[in-house]
Amino acid sequence: MSMLAQRVITAVVLVALLVPALLADHSWPFNLLTLVLIGAAGWEWGRLNQAGMVLSLAQGLLLALACAAAFMAGWSQEPPVVAWILAAAVWVIGGALALRSGPALWPHMPRIARWLLGLAALWAAWLAISHARGIGVNFILSVFCLVWVADIAAYFGGRRFGRRKLAPGISPGKSWEGVYSGMLGVFALALAWRAVEPHLHTDSASLYSQLLAELGLLGTLVALALLAGMSVVGDLVESLVKRAAGAKDSSRLLPGHGGVLDRVDALLPVFPIAMALLML
């Protein structure tokens, strides 16, 4: 079977699972499905960071149990504020330090520190995604679309205008022009969403409407630029870890697409930081 056929079949299966779970009357089907996926991502993280097969499986199971415990504690509905603050700080500061040091220094960090950082980031991301689904379908879709549009706009903007390399030692194809294109794409998305939203019977306000209400126009533009930029950081951090491990993909769980981490890397910083911004 060709790579394209594998990609199409996998994408169709994922959509067939995710869309009904997302649109269900209750949030638990979506939470359960994403919990399984995040547990698989925890297993992949262990494999990329020299945990071995058994310990990697244990890490994935531990992560899934930690997410389930948070759900049972009611944190999906009323999450602890400190979770978003810490996650945002770790991603902004730690992500910048990781990208500055590059792949060469990553394997020299203590393995247990690498394991804990990754599992904590995955746990915070799942909690933020679960909470976003609890807010409403319109809200969570607006965050998902922000990441997807930032990625698509960055890709085409980078191909057309890319001159200055962003992180050549990690991902040679990314450029600063691509990053700026991604930000412009997110601005256009927010404008279009805000124009259409009042005419639809949505179950919740979008991220863009809530940011505008909380931060004003200038604050919203800054917040959207930050979120678009952090989606790139999430992608680059995973690329850094894979390059340090000598791996092309995080796993082969998703035929034609690589692993779960390959598909969610840009989402990991965006959801917790979006929640932190809303609390401002």
pLDDT in tens, 16-44: 999 999 999 888 999 999 999 999 999 99
* The two structure tokens encoding residue 195: 């124009």
- What is the predicted pLDDT for the residue at 226? 97
- What is the predicted pLDDT for the residue at 4? 65
Quick: pLDDT tens for 44-91: 999 999 888 999 999 999 999 999 999 999 998 889 888 899 999 999
- What is the predicted pLDDT for the residue at 11? 81
204 φ/ψ sector (left φ>0, alpha ψ -120 to 50, else beta)? beta
Quick: pLDDT tens for 244-265: 999 988 988 888 788 999 999 9
Give the DSSP letter string of 89-126. Answer: HIIIIIHHHHHHH-TTTGGGS-HHHHHHHHHHHHHHHH
